[in-house]
Structure 1
Amino acid sequence: MIRVAYILTPITFGGSEKVSLNFLRHVNRERYEIFPILLVRPWENDPYFACELRRCGYHFERVPVAVRRDADPFRVPRVAGRIFALLRGGSFHLVHTHGYFADICGLPAARLLGIPGISTCHGYISNGGNLKLYNMLDKIVLRLCTRIMAVSEGIRGDLMISGLDGGRIDVVHNAAGSTLKEEDFHRLRLEKRSSLSIGADEFVAGFAGRLSQEKGARYLIEAASEMKHHGKRYKLLIMGDGPERECLSSMVKKAGLDRDVLFTGFLENSEEWLPALDIFVLPSLTEGTPMALLEAMAMGIPVIASAVGGVPDVIEDGINGFLVPPGESRAIHERIMLLIDKPDQMKRLSRAGKETVNSRYNVRDWCRRIEQMYDSLAEGGYRGMHA
């Protein structure tokens, strides 16, 4: 039995949390004993991620990231000290971290105790002074870990530009799958649309993700505002919440799209809402290998996405989806209109997208690659992974 300390900060339920939950649900628990260590805000209720861990039968440790809501200058050494104590008393073979804060607090502790460390790097968001500092610190402490898993070739390149040894970095794209039967997909489609007062025959484009600047939801709203010049209307469903919510709502009102654009707010399981869509749009300015994109493709929902990060690794333009330049709302609008006018092309993209995920981004093979890495590191050596 290989015992792994699995450290992350599940403040929201975004891409890295979905990736982690995907792995924890499918890992071989007869061979790997995973002990999640969750870095949480003590004044908040348990995040959705923690509730899902309980449903899966995991025991986990909650480590407060701060003792008060305002600035806490000692939070990094405090959290790092707590992780060090947990690792020292846990007889762990490996430490696996996700995200900059887990890296900064967990990897030095693992190194001091002589435990091999693995970090999954989902990419960096550079807006905000503190975030830039944490990103810089992260790229320093990543030198302490044994292996790095980058979720796209672009992230691997970024890490190498920062001076990290490319020989220690493996590209392991995220994975997804859908267990929905066709009848369940159509049932959810009708249920979710009905709950939002959307007609069964209305055309719906949508986005799922955090409403923050780098996710580019504003460009999707700008694309929707082009409808009045085209003569054909569609609904736009924006699933998620975040710091841009108020600004995006103002954009909708100014454009006179109140009846066309719907905000759901935060959804614990946005995957269950994807069947409400005819098209999934990812207008991001930066990405790793986005989970929401893979989830939509796995369900057979045609996708339009910005050509950023690991997205072009997944989508071949016009074959299994459409790529658009980042920040180009007109290009998004044109692709949406094209698919409205050409239902046969929608069907082709649907089939091709589903086949792409099933053949290249399936959960079974992805889990096996990570398990191979665990085996090699626990045995004291690493020769690289084989697909």
Structure 2
Amino acid sequence: MKILHTEASAGWGGQELRILAEMQGLRERGHTLELAAPASARIHREAAALGFTVHDVPIARKNLRGVLALRRLLRSRDFDVVNTHSSTDSWLAALANALSPRRVPLVRTRHISAPVPRNPATRWLYNRAAAAIVTTGEKLREELREGNGFRDVTIRSVPTGIDPERFHPADAAAARAELGLPALFTVGIVATLRSWKGHRYLIDAVGQLRAQGQDLQLLIVGDGPQREALEAQVAAAGWSEVVRFAGHDPRPERWLRAMDLFVLPSYANEGVPQALMQAMMSGLPCITTSIGAIGEVARDGETALVVPTQDTQALAAAIARLQQDTGLRQRLGQAARAFALAHCTLAAMCDAMEEVFSSARAQPR
């Protein structure tokens, strides 16, 4: 198949990483993958660096220029399927497709759990303009079907797939030595530095434990709009020696291997977070919340510990529990990797997306 992905967002996080991973996985299976995105978007540069054909289109905002540009692209390239990812490019692609003499099946992927408007225009976009909808979690799928009433279109949950050879259990002490980190019990997070990822609660929780005499450090991997505020929080509390900001690294597995414990205290907008699945595939014991579709993979006491959102005390208690209980850490880590291997591999994601695209292409136009 010849598949066009569209992405309007200039951001960089799990959504963009999933798009590129999916494109690479399907390219290896013989499909042709191209991307339409503004030249200013980071995914535009990253996809080009991976050798994909990338089209510079003015789709960062909803406007007629974007519709016409996508219409020209669809008419000129003979795509079998278009896969849209953010709200803006989904609207522009749908309108461009509706105005084209030859319509291309449109698959809309919903990566996050933010509410979808309930109005006639949105019902048209999801129920009529889309040949299929993909969500990153079952809870998101059910909300679209039951909450929004989108029942005239196939909706399928396809969790983000992780490469088990790239993300695997490792000797944390050896990994810390390789990265030049202190030989301390290491709590870590890999996430874009956005407010709703909950970094500030994790910083406070680790600070409380340090004040109580617990010997541990915090590793924050990622970059984003909240970095300055989080660094100021750490500096004001005097915790700079035990909180390290590693920044963004295209090889997050290096840092995951250095962790004893992974924490993701998100309180909004999640589907099934890619970083959480990477940590689980790496065999790390995890602490997280049940926001969005996280509960589908993080089952309290089985594959992770689940705490209330925005609750520093509960977060600190869970960290202390796992720091003190080596057996529980091992059991949760092993169960997390077993779950990820059974449900969330890169191969499984590519299998599912191939089925979605093939089915969409076969629909009458």
**TM-score, normalisation: structure 1:** 0.84
Matched, 1:79 2:51: no
Q: Which runs of 5+ in 2 are unaligned?
A: none
Match of 2:321 in 1: 338
Match of 1:307 in 2: 290
Q: Does the Cα contact within 8 Å between 2:137 and 2:157 map onto a contact in 1? A: yes
Mapped to 1, the partners of 2:57 and 2:82 lie a distance apart of 16
Match of 1:22 in 2: 21
Match of 2:82 among 65, 88, 95: 95
Q: Does the Cα contact within 8 Å between 1:104 and 1:141 map onto a contact in 2? A: yes
SS at match of 1:34: strand
Match of 1:246 in 2: 228
Matched, 1:224 2:206: yes
Mapped to 2, the partners of 1:374 and 1:191 lie a distance apart of 42
- Over 3 Å counting, the alpha-carbon distance change for 1:309 and 1:214 in structure 2 is same
Deviates more, 1:202-211 or 1:243-252: 243-252
Matched residue count? 358
Match of 2:126 in 1: 142
- Over 3 Å counting, the alpha-carbon distance change for 1:345 and 1:53 in structure 2 is same
Q: Does the Cα contact within 8 Å between 2:172 and 2:260 map onto a contact in 1? A: no
- Over 3 Å counting, the alpha-carbon distance change for 1:213 and 1:166 in structure 2 is farther
Deviates more, 1:247-256 or 1:177-186: 177-186
Match of 1:119 in 2: 108
Counterpart residue identity of residue 94, structure 2: L
Match of 1:214 in 2: 196
Mapped to 2, the partners of 1:164 and 1:372 lie a distance apart of 20
1:281 Cα deviation (Å)? 0.5
1:58 Cα deviation (Å)? 1.8
Match of 2:161 among 148, 154, 175: 175
Counterpart residue identity of residue 3, structure 2: V
- Over 3 Å counting, the alpha-carbon distance change for 1:245 and 1:136 in structure 2 is farther
Q: Does the Cα contact within 8 Å between 1:156 and 1:166 map onto a contact in 2? A: no
**For 1:227-248, what per-residue CA distance to the aligned partner results, in whole angstroms no more than 9, with x for missing partners?**
1443112111112222222222
Match of 1:104 in 2: 91
Percent identity reads 27
Match of 1:323 in 2: 306
**For 1:137-165, what per-residue CA distance to the aligned partner results, in whole angstroms no more than 9, with x for missing partners?**
76763342111101123322433423433
SS at match of 2:77: coil
Counterpart residue identity of residue 202, structure 1: L
Which structure ranks higher in relative contact order (CA pairs < 8 Å, sequence separation ≥ 6)? 2
1:319 Cα deviation (Å)? 1.4
SS at match of 2:133: strand
1:107 Cα deviation (Å)? 2.0
**For 1:309-352, what per-residue CA distance to the aligned partner results, in whole angstroms no more than 9, with x for missing partners?**
11110011111111111111111111111111111211111111
Q: Does the Cα contact within 8 Å between 1:95 and 1:110 map onto a contact in 2? A: no
SS at match of 2:315: helix
Q: Does the Cα contact within 8 Å between 1:11 and 1:40 map onto a contact in 2? A: no
Q: Supply the RMSD in Å over aligned alpha carbons.
A: 2.7
Q: Does the Cα contact within 8 Å between 1:121 and 1:150 map onto a contact in 2? A: yes
Counterpart residue identity of residue 239, structure 1: V
Match of 2:359 in 1: 376
SS at match of 2:57: strand
Match of 1:13 in 2: 12
Match of 1:359 in 2: 342
Match of 1:164 in 2: 150
Mapped to 2, the partners of 1:361 and 1:163 lie a distance apart of 28
1:220 Cα deviation (Å)? 0.5
**For 1:201-260, what per-residue CA distance to the aligned partner results, in whole angstroms no more than 9, with x for missing partners?**
311111111222211111111211211443112111112222222222232233222222
Counterpart residue identity of residue 26, structure 1: G
Q: Which runs of 5+ in 1 are unaligned?
A: 67-73, 127-131, 383-387
Counterpart residue identity of residue 214, structure 1: W
Mapped to 1, the partners of 2:353 and 2:90 lie a distance apart of 18
Counterpart residue identity of residue 13, structure 1: W
